[in-house]
Each structure stands twice: as structure tokens, then as C-alpha cells.
Structure 1
Amino acid sequence: MQSLFNNSLKTYSKSLLTNIARTTGSSLVSSQSFSQLKKLSTLNNGKTNNLNLKRDYESKANYGKPDTSEKETIVKLLYNIGSRKEVEQYLRHFSSVESQKFAVIKVGGAVLSDELDTLASALVFLNKVGLYPIVVHGAGPQLNTILKNAGIKAHYEDGLRVTDAQTLEIARKVFQNENLKLVEALERLGTKARPINGGVFTAEYLNKEKYHYVGKVTQVNRELIESSIRAGALPILTSLAETPSGQILNVNADTAAGELARVLEPLKIIYINDKGGLFNDKGKKIDVINLDEEYEDLMKQPWVTKGTKLKIQEIRELLIHLPRSSSVSIISAEHLHKELFTHSGAGTLIRRGNKIFKETDLTKLDVDRLRKLLQSNNQEIADGTNSVAKYLSGLQDKKAVMYGDEAYEVFAVVSNNSEFPVLEELIASESAVLNNVTENIWNIIKKDYPTLIWACYQDDPNKSWYFERCQGSYSLNGRILFWYGIKDVNKVESIINQFKETQKNPAANTTKSSIGFSSGIRKYSTNANGSANKTAPSGARSYSTSSKPKRIGLIGARGYTGRELIKLINGHPNIELAYVSSRELNGKVCEHYNKSELRYVNLAPKELAKKRDVDCWIMALPNNVCKPFVESIMTIPEKERPLILDLSADARFNETWQYGLPELVGRDKIRKTRLISNPGCYATGSQLSIAPLLPYIGGQPSIFGVSGYSGAGTKPSPKNDVNNLNNNLIPYALTDHIHEREISYQLKTPVSFMPHVGQFFQGISLTINIPLNTTMNEKNIHDIYAEKYKNDKLVHVYDAGKIPEVKHISGKHHVDIGAFKVHSSGKRVVIVGCIDNLLKGAATQALQNINLALGLEEYAGIPTSD
């Protein structure tokens, strides 16, 4: 089995090598030896890595589970088709949603016939980095061949195959055979896959008289897909459907993939074909289609003929019903990795996008939305050396043209108060970067301004992006001047001389100079939910950087919550770990953190007052332990004092600390504080499950809670002894539990709480009985909860009657609330809430609070399913 995986790497890396050879001049493509493949993985970092590819595929315990060494190897290979930070950004982006919401991939029959190995290897690569694409395939060419050999003529109406009983019988066998071919190809390469030939699509006859056994999908059963993913297997679907009575119907594979996407709402819908994209009448591939901006003009283009026009119309209709973050890619199997993990892409990317505005009148802008973008992105405003009001006032004094998108995720300013126009500002959110809005605005600016100048600092991580878009540059004293469109040598000399003058006087860098080199052009940046700095490749679709990351000190990193915090910070685009303190782990490498080589230290309380390079200290210590650490930090002058977040119960009843439950206490309070008491896990789930009904409570709510044994901590006890927990449920602290006090104190209503420990590791189930002071029904109550939490990404409200289960919340960052079962009297309701005690019950909520208090985007670094 190991040799099969090695062969998988060799096969799929051929396309990787081809791409690398184009960009690096490498001759490695001439050889497929695996030793050279290993060397390839170190091209970008210049040092040799010990790549351990061994894995026991035959072990049932390991089979199908991600292997960190394989993932590391594959990610290193990806670094060679795009920058390291590009790849990591997309990995974080794709991993930020539930597994079934990553991608729906439609595979044409010709690809299965001609490129099966390449397709299988591509899917293996995705799975080895922890992703679960859902594949829907067709089998048109294979079916045509078999029908022809059987003397049956294929018949089409309006582009759809007319499927009579004989054709359907053959089609069913062909689909099953092609499905198994792909599943077996994946299994041979060490990736689990599950053949799903039915049960997903329910359909009715499209037009029985005209098309015979051709279906129109009416319902999608996602449980089969989710079950496959939970089992660690890629779901491989045919496009066959059934009527409610069990009659099999043929459904167009594109249509089936579209209906599946409408239900799952994935980030990516991918159509794999042998062409690898859409091409215009001159044979040039169309890189990007931004539908909201381009659709009407696009439909008038001569190359948009009947088939292409129908395809674009169908994609537009699909995307209108999906979140704006969703997009469609048309790509070949060989270049799937480049399409997914680089800004430049490889196929045709189709998305809705946002309409672009161009404005000279500041009063016509949505200033409130622009203010938020500037506060998160403009360096001077973020560090307090400038204010939004002063910045906007400055725009009015300039002959400036402002560009942006209707969502205010990108903003650019070009001034015209000198001989040549000057790019003063260019900022963008991560969403704009990932969805190409930034590049669209850049192209519009280039169209409007045949000449342009701008400047950045020498250490700006985006300078290579600027170099790729300029025709000339000049460096002096830590700054770089860029220009394009200026052909007159004397004019170039003139702007360089003026640039030199600004560099003689440092103060000139913070005020408008004779050629408009204002401080605005320091960075092309994204806001707090953007990714880490990166350099975009030539022809990039989009590009971004973030400001200097916030530094975090973690005291008490040994426990489960500390580990989860380290993992979250490792994936956060705008914060980094400065110190991780643990007495037991002192001197060891922090294994869950790879932004830098960080070792555990054992910090004494008095040392914290001396560490002035920390923006936030997290106290991940047991109750009644962190007081000396906090006292040490409080000796720092108030203006320099970092944020303190306490995960223990020490400050939850202390009014000088802000209780950190954003959905209930309000975000503004958390943004203004420097002392945060993080709520308890049981308390978070219980309060969120009860709070919407506070005006209707007619008696004392009672809470029956069951937690996984991770809630008992790492110190050995009967409550985390797996042998003691086997086939067991342990009640404990049945009265006066600290969380009972906490819930009652925060909700300002008494509750009774009965905690238990179960034999599962993580997660909490809460069954809550609430007496009502008025008669209500399930819909009344559900609507109250849905309205209360409609804007909260980390609270998911189930439909009335649907009951959350703890197995579905483990490893997730939100809270599930459901059931809403009302007693026949209408005066009592039972609510069920589920929360992961280590995540939203602790680490995720801590990060949510830190984001707010440090001025970052609330959900930055937190995987959500929205």
C-alpha cells in the first residue's frame, strides 16, 4: 500500500513539476524519481527536510485517518506552485467550514475515461490535507459507446438525453461501473471512498412523454453524504435519482451537482472537464468572470455561443441562491491544485462578486461602512497616529477619485493634485482577496489612468506584487517609488528627484509632498479576518497583507483548553504566540504551533510585568491560581497594560472584570475592556439556551447536563478514568455547583443544575426544562430563538422538533440549540443545547473575546460554517 501512495505522489506531482518548471526554470520535470520529488519540497525554503512518508495503511486503526507527515509533504509540494502563505491561506479558508461545505466537484464522463489516474491523484491530494470534496460524476461518452455497440441510437431533446427503459437499464450499469472505477482508484491510493449510487436525489419526471425516464430533482438527502464524511470516506455520487415510489430516473450530472450545491452551500463548485476552462473566440482562456459586474456585457460577446451562454446562465442562477462567498470553477483535473491553492488559479473562476463604484463626492459614500474598513486596515488609523475623521477630511481636500465595491471590502484612492496621478490607498478584506474584487478594482484603475505612481516601504511584504504591476521603480532610504505608463525619461527623472526630496525630510513622509507621496501608501492590506502577508504570483487574481500581528502570552498551556488555544492561534491570520508557559513542559517544543519554533517556558508571576511585547495574556490556570500573575501585569502603567483574559472562575463574579459572552453581554462592552473573565463551558451553553426566554419564564429552570470527560481536566480522577466511565454515567456536585451560581448570577434568575460525566471525550449535552408564564407553542419559541441569534455565527438554531446531539458538536466551534418541545399545557418547554466544552465553551470563546478586545474581526481565526 505504501508503494501505491508513493506512486500517487509521483503521478500527481507531474503536473506540479510542470508548473514549477514554468516558474523556476527547474529541469525536474524531466524526471519522475521520488528522490527528486523530495528535493522539490525544499525549493522554497532552501533547506533539507526529513520527509517521513511511511504509514501503516493496512492498520484498521490508522486507515483513512490523516497522517501529519503526508500532509506536510503535500503542503510543501503546493508551496512550489504558489507562495507558502498563499497555500496556507487557502487551507485555512477551506478548513474553516464544515467538511461537507468545502466543495462539490462535478466530473464529466470523458475525464473518468481518459484521466482517471490524474483525477484520483488530485482527490487524494485534497484528502491528505484534510479536505473532503463531494464528487458527482457523469458517464455520457461511456454510455454512448455501449449504446452504439448495442445498436441503440442516442436521442437528445433540448440537450437532454431521452432515456427510455432500455437506455435506463444500460445507463444504470454504466454509472455503477464508472463509480466503482473511481472509488477503487482512490482506495488503491490509500484514500477511503464510498460509492453512493442512489438514495441522495429524489426526483419527479421532468416530462415523461418527451424525455421518458429523465428526472427533475425535488429533494436531496444529505445524510448519506455526511455519514460518509464522518466515516472518513470521500462520497462518490452518480447522478441517478429515484421517485418517492422507487423508480430510478436519469438526471443530468451538471443539474445534480447544482441541486446538491443548493443544499450544501459549499465554498466551491467545481466542474472538471478536459478543456480546463472557458475560452473566447481567440482561443484565450477566460480567467475570471465577475457576474454582478460583467454579466450583461458578457452575454453580448461573440464567443458566448449557445452552449457557453446556457452554461453561464445556469451558473449565475445557481450562485444567486448561494452565499456570496461561493464560487464556480471550470478546470481540468491536472490543474485542480493550482485553481484551489493559488491566487492566479488555472481555470475559469466564476463568482457573483460585488459591483464596483467610482466616486469623487465623499458624501455619496456609506461612511459608516468605510470607517470600519479603515479602522481595520489603515496602519495609521489602527496605531492611533491618525483618525478616520481626519483621514476623510483629507480626502475632501484632494482631487481624489475613490474606488470600492458595494460591500465595502475594498477601498482605493487616486489623487490628481500633481502632474501624474498618485495611488494613495489600497486596502481590502480577506473576502475581497479570495473573491478577486481587489484585482477587479486594480484593472479599473489601470483603465482610468494610463499613468500612475505610488510608493511603499522597503520592508513591505507586498513589494513584489507592486513590482509585477509597475514599469519602473526607484529605491531610497527604505522606501520604493513605483510607476507605470511614463515613457519620457525626463519625466521619470523629475519624479525620482521629487521622491528624493521627500526622503531628505522624514516629516515629509507623513504629509502630502509635491507629488502626493502621502503616508497612505504603506501597505496593500486586509483587515483582521484577512490572511498573513503574502506575495502574489504574476497574473494574480487577488492579493493581500495584514498588519503587524498581535502577540499573545499563554500561561498554563498544558491542559486541553491550552492546547486548543495554541491550535487556534496557529491558524489565526493576525495574532501569534509570544510565550507559552508550562512548568511540566518547560524546554519542550510547542508541537501544535508551526508559525515559528516556539518552546515552552516556565514564567514566574513577576516576570510578566517585564514582558512588554505582549498584547494579551491568557490565564489558562485552575481556579484560585492566577491572582499573582494578574497582579504582576497590573503593575504595568495603564496606557501600556495588555489585555488579560482569565479562563478560570476567579473573576466571573467580579464586576471590575467584563464577563465575556459576546452574544448576550454585547460586543461593545468587550471591545472597551482590558479585563475579560471567560465564561464556563456549562454556563455558556446553558445561558445561550435559556436567555431568549427570560421574559417568559414562569418558574425555576432546571438543567440536566452531561459533559465529556475532558471537562474533568488532565489530572487523573474517577471522572476522567476511562475504565471507570465505561458503560457508566457519573453524577457529581448536584447542588451549588459553581456553574449553577454563575448561570443564576448572569441571567439574574435562579436555576438548578445537575452535572454528569459521560464516557465520551469532549462535548456537552444540556436538557433544560423551563416553566412558562404564558401559553406558547413550538413555533412561537423557535421564532424567538431564531430572531435572537440571527446574526450570531456561533449559535445555530435548529428547526422546531429537531434535537441536537453531542456527537455532532464535538470539534465544532458553535452552539447547537433545538428541540423546543412544548408540554400539552403550553406552559412548559424543553430546550436541548449542545456545546464543545473545549471550544465555544473555552478556547473558541476566548479567541472571540480577544478578537473583539484587540480590535480585530470577531470571528477571525475561528472556523465557522457560515
Structure 2
Amino acid sequence: MQSLGRPLLRQVASYSVTQKLSTRACSTLLVPSQRSVSSPKRQRRHVTRGFASSRYDDGSARSAVINVLNNIGSKREVQQYLAQFTSVSSQQFAVIKVGGAILTDYLDVLCASLRNLNQMGLFPVIIHGAGPQLNKLLEEAGVEPAYQEGIRITDGKTLGVARKLFLEENLKLAEALESWGVRARPITSGVLMADYKDKEIYQLVGEVNQVNVAPIKAAIADGYIPVLTCMAESEDGQVLNVNADKAAAELARALVPLKIVYLSEKGGIHDKETGKLVEAINLDEEYDEYMKKPWVIHGTRSKIRDIKTLLDDLPRSSSVAIIHPESLERELFTHSGAGTLIRRGTKLRQAESLSELDAERLSMLKKTLVRDREGLDAGAVVERYLETLKDRPFRAYYDENMEALAIVLPPSSGSSSALAHLATLTMSRSAWLSNIADNVFQNLKRDFPKLAWTVKQDDENLTWFSEKADGSIARRGEVLFWYGIESPEEVRELMSEFVQHGRQMFGDINLESQLHRAAAAAERIRAGAERLMGNRPGAQPMQARAFSTSARRPIIPSKADATPRRGYATTNPNPPLGIKNSEKEYPSKIALIGARGYTGQALIDLLNRHPNMDLCHVSSRELAGKRLKGYEKKEIIYENLSPDDVRRMAEKQEIDCWVMALPNGVCKPYVDAVDESGHKEALVIDLSADYRFTPSWTYGLPELVQRSKIASSTRVSNPGCYATAAQLGIAPLLPHLAPSPAHPTVFGVSGYSGAGTKPSPKNNVQNLTDNLIPYSLTDHIHEREISAQLGTEVAFIPHVAVWFAGIHHTISLPLAHEMTSRDVRNLYQDRYHGEKLVTVRGESPLVKSIAGKHGVEIGGFAVHSGGKRVVINVTIDNLLKGAATQCLQNMNLALGYAEYEGIPVE
């Protein structure tokens, strides 16, 4: 984004991006096969600067991994970091220290991540510990461990146990990597040389004094990832125990890598007073402060101190990341990173008036602003912009070289609403890569408890901004972010102001009036919030946020398409549904037609908790005149709405979203009524099967259908419960299915709530007890639905059982080629990585564990001995993700809210 014309992030230098493969192709290429396991007879392979030629250097595997990485961060981020990593010799890419607990609990996760790095020609240097394993062995051997200042005192017996264990763990990691198709070379001696560390106290503990990098370079030159253990040797050949963190630090000093990563099962350093993860520590500014904290003791204190000593000897751009192994790719290839990042940091300067800047600094400021402008008049535009800064308060943050610049409009004095506006943020490429952007936001959060800003909806840095925000809403290609707002009233006023004024408030307007209009918008928001709060005597800000919030994590793009999955609220290119001209009132107004059934009740419960949806009308012929139970926002009386009633209400544009919760074949007159009303922006979601095969309607399965398509639709057909589970259970294997006449077979069993509330043998508990009832054994409507959506014939055999809610599928899939259980599981984990409502596990999921849950569980992955048939189990709550929860996902997307708003995501 341009920092003046559009008041946030500029588009930094673009990079050519490898064309993304389809999800299916990606999944195929990522699976390690039995043939990929290393052989000791491999010939020596030549390594070029940055990339090694290996069996993965066929281009397609590398492209597939880049495709996966693009689903973690933006394409630009991935290409930036990949270009940076491949610009140095291979041994300078990264040093990764692996904690002992990782080898016991997260070995496969580690191997999968290292495989992805290796497939791109990257060779991290691995050094591991084995502390937990050693403690266990010593306890079994009757050896009482002794420590001095957090360092294990190592006598001869302890060293004997430790040396044997470290060699075993080193070989275990190397063999595990080989089984994942990664060539790994154990290096257990000849690299780390050490002196005794106060021999009288610590005995056989060493401090590394020299690193011989020749064996590391030789391993990488041969195409192997070097795997070291934390054992060193003295000059006289004595083996010494060294601390793994310290050994990793000495390796880093010798190799000067671009990245230094400590893998920890805790995922970073946590503040023991608040329990929260410490996201970043800027040593130049915060080291003394952290060393005074009462919880920074023992190992934590030693770790921070040792990292500071290390970074003082390395280039300022160096940093140490302490992360969970699951976050390795995110840490390496995204701006947002993961875990705790420890860096020297960049001290930021501040200015509250242009007069505080000397001539040189003012010239730098102008150049910084000009670099974001296009056109011959860029200089004149910047001059006019600076003139506006003379007329109102602001605060600017910038680094020494002005690679980063932020300009904030603070709240007006005397206002009880301390909402500030971030008017300008511009970052150079080097500022992103050196994490100055994070440093800027740390300062903003310190100085401004409440802040709002906007970003273009197609901005490639949305991942990063989403992490910094507490909530968001989108309109016409712009996303409004905010943090620190505790009152729902303030949030709604902010959202309303954004929708009403849009670009006038934050967007691409005349520069001369940009700051004045933004300031006026801020004042309107503050005044409105104060007015709302003032209408409630003694009102206090709510502690628990009950408003539209984005998930505080990176935005993970969907595996189903190249469209980013929104952790932020999004909308179609048109105004949010229900807006008349430039007006919009929150929350959105909802009408539910047909609410007597179990699904209707489940949806009512979800809407009751949704902060930005107002249930206005509930129609049920049987319950007309009775009070709606379970909805606490206001009293609602059931109505018996006819299609004519619906038409009249739609003509008046009273409803933003119509939800049809009617039996199959019943809802067409109501849909026709909305269509005939002329209210084209009204959203209609049908829970029946009536429109699942209508091309003009969007099929609303967000995990498999493009979310952007759902977000831009006004007619959405909600998938069936059986069909949702079956499609999610089959989709990742579609490219690997055997050709016709073989086809998947789905054996499904549902609880009796799936039979509805109308009495029948299928929901008669007495009839179901000690029984299993098959029905519609061929040509079931869901069989047609599953086959049509997947594009392949599927046989579906439904049954009903005595439990109330929950579906269990056993799916048999014929394969076109041999696969292993691990191969199949990898496909599913890659496909559904980051999907909040899909859980992939090794064991078969149980139906009793899914009842009342809002997601889907997939597991089993049993492969026939011949390797060409796999059986997979899937469970889903038919009333929730099978109906109501999925409906709310679709409503959120199409109405412009965060996809999971109002859904309890575990």
C-alpha cells in the first residue's frame, strides 16, 4: 500500500513466484515413498552455492513445497526469505537446536519440516540434546542428578550413561530423517572442542572453545544434513558433556547463519506471571528489564543471557527464535514468525512535530514518503502532506536509517475513548526481513492502548496485520483492523463509521485533507462510543470481548484454492449485505424460516452467542404464538410466515439474511418470494437439499469450496451432514483413486437426530435399542450430492443407530498405486493444515467424542497389505458442522464477518 494515498503498507519489491501447483499435485509430491529412503551406496553429489543437487532437485518437488509454504505466509514473503536463504553458502542457512523432548514427542513433526526444507535445497545444521531421556536413565540407574547454577554436574558414571544415550539419540534422529527421504549424516565427534568448565565443581562438563566446521561442510557437500550431538572433546581426547544451547551458540558463531532456531516443546518463553507467550525480546532496549523480572531465573535467565552474548558477536540482523517444531516453516518463511524471537532490535526514534527533525532527518523523511509514491508529482504530494502535519498533533516512529516509518494520530485530549489512528506505515524490504516492523508495533502497543488502521484486502501482509489485531471487518476491498477496544459499543460504532465513511475515513482521498478527515472520523467514533456508554448509567467496559474478532494467529490460506483463508472478516466486492446507500446498522438482521427441528435449535443457540447477528424473526407453523426459548438477546415470538409475508419484508429490506431450515422440497416458494422482492443483496442460505444441484447457487463447504466464492454469493446451499463428512474424508485422495469401475464406498451411521423430530421408526429409541437400521441403501440423495461435488462416483450406504447426535463414516478407497499409511496421513495433514474445524489424527475417531463439537475428525488410515486400498474413518456432529455450524460459517463469510465468529473453536 502507498503510505500517503492509502494510509498503510506500501507494496515492497515484488518477486517472481513459482507458479502454484494444485492442491492435489502438491499433496502427491510431498509424500515420501519407500523408494525415497536413503541408501549408503549413493554417489557423492555436487553442491552449488545455496542449492544442493539431490533427488529432490527435479523442480516439481521444490515447487510443491513452495506451494505449501505459500499457504503458510504470502507468496512474496516466501520468495523473499527463500532468495535470502539461497544467497549464502549452504552451511550458513540455519543452525537448529533440537531439545531432547522433541525427539521423544515430536519426531515426525520435526522430520516433516526438515524434509520440506531439504526439498528446496536447504541444509540446516542440526544439533540436539537429550536432557529428559538422560534424567530418566539416571533415575533408573540410581544416580541422583546434581546441578550447580542450572548446569548438570557430570561425573564419570553420568558421562558414561550420557554418551551412550546421546549416540543412540543421534542415530535415531538420523534414521528417522532417512525414513522420511532426507539424507542425514550423524556427526558425533571432531566438531566441538572444549575446555573443562571449573573441573572441581562440574567435573566432566566442557565449554566449547573451538568449532571445526570441516565435517559439517563435507556432509553438506555430499548432500547430507549434518546431525550433531552435544558432546565435545578436550585437547587430550576426553569426552565432555556440553550444554546444547551453548553448543548451538558456538556453532552459530563459527558459521554465522542467517537463522538460529531453538526448538522447544513449550514453543517459546512464557511470562510466568501472566502465563502469556513472550513474542519478542529486543535486547538493546529490554535486556536489563527482563533480567530484573522475578520469574527470569535458572534456565530462562541463563538462556537469555547466553543469547545476548551470542548476538553481540553476530551481525545486528541476526536473531534467535525459540519455537515449537510445528512452527518451523512459519518462523523461517513469514514476517510474523512464531514463538519467541530474541534479537538485538532496532532502537526507534520518535517525533511529535516536524520541528524536532533536523534538515538531514527531514530530508530522509521526505525520501521515505516519496519512495511510496508513483507519478511525476510525488515530491509535491509529499510536501502538501507534510504541510497537513503542521496543523495537528501526531507521533512519528522511525529507525536510524528510516527504513521504517509510522505516523499515528493520537486521541484528542480530554476524550474518554483513547482510540488512536495509524495513518501511515511504510517499510522497506530490509525492514521486514530484519523484523523492524514488529519492533514498531511493539512501540505502538506500548504507547497507544487502542489503535485502528486499514489495509487493502488484497495486501500480501494481511497475515502480519491480523496477528497484530484483536478484530477486523472488511468492505469494498478494505479491511479495518483494531486492537485494545474492550467495549462492544465502541466496536460497533467503529464498524459503523468504517462502513458509512469508508475511504473518507481511512482511504485513498485528497492528501491535503487526509489527516483532518481521519481526525474527524476518530472524533465521531469517540463521541459515539461515549454517547452509547453514557446511555447506560454506571456502564463499564466489558472485560470479555463479545464483538467481531479475528483469530490471533496467522491467516492460513485454504488448501482448496489459492484464495487466502480469512482469519479476518471479509465480504464480497459489493457493500455488506443490508446496506442501503451508505448506511449500515450492526448487527445484521436474520430471519429463520422453519425452526422447529433440531438444526434450527442448534443455529438459534449459535446466533445467541454471535455478537454481530440479530435474530429478528423465527417462523414455525407448529409453534406460532409461543415464546422462543434459548435466545437471550431479546424476546422473540414464533411466527407463521407465509411466502407473501416474506416478500413484503424483503421489499422493505428489513432482513440481511434469510435462513431456510425447512424440509426438502418446501423452501422454493420462500426463495422465490425473496427473489421477486427486488432485494438482490439479501443473503439466502438453504439448509435443505433443494438447491445443492442448482448451478446458480454456491455450495457452501468452506474447507473445499473457494471461500472467496462463498463470500461473494447471495445464494448459498448448505451441504448435507453425511455429505460434508464424506467429502472431507475423500477429497485429499481424489488424485490417487483407482480408475472406474472401482469407486469409494461410504458406510455411514448416524444418530437418530438425523431423522428429524417427526416420529418415525428411525428416531424411535425403543426400536433402535440393540439395533442398527439400514435405509435408502442405493440412490440416497447424499450419494448423489457426494458424487456430484467430488466429480467421481461414490457408493453411500446409510444407517441409523441409537445415539442422539453424531455420524461415523467408514470409507473404503481403492488406490491407483501403492501407498503406505504414513503416505495417506501426510496427504490429509497437508491438505487440512490450518483448518480450524478439521482434525486429522492417527487413530480412528470415536462418535461419542464428536457429539457437541463443531468440527470434523478424520483418522484410521488403515492400508490393505497389498497397498492399494485404504480405509478411513470420519466423525461429525450432524447438527453442528453437519448443519448449523457450517451454516454460520457461510453466513459469516457472506455477511462480511470473521469466518469463525460465534463458533466455539477448540
| TM-score when normalising by structure 2 | 0.47
- Which is bigger in relative contact order (C-alpha 8 A, separation at least 6)? 2
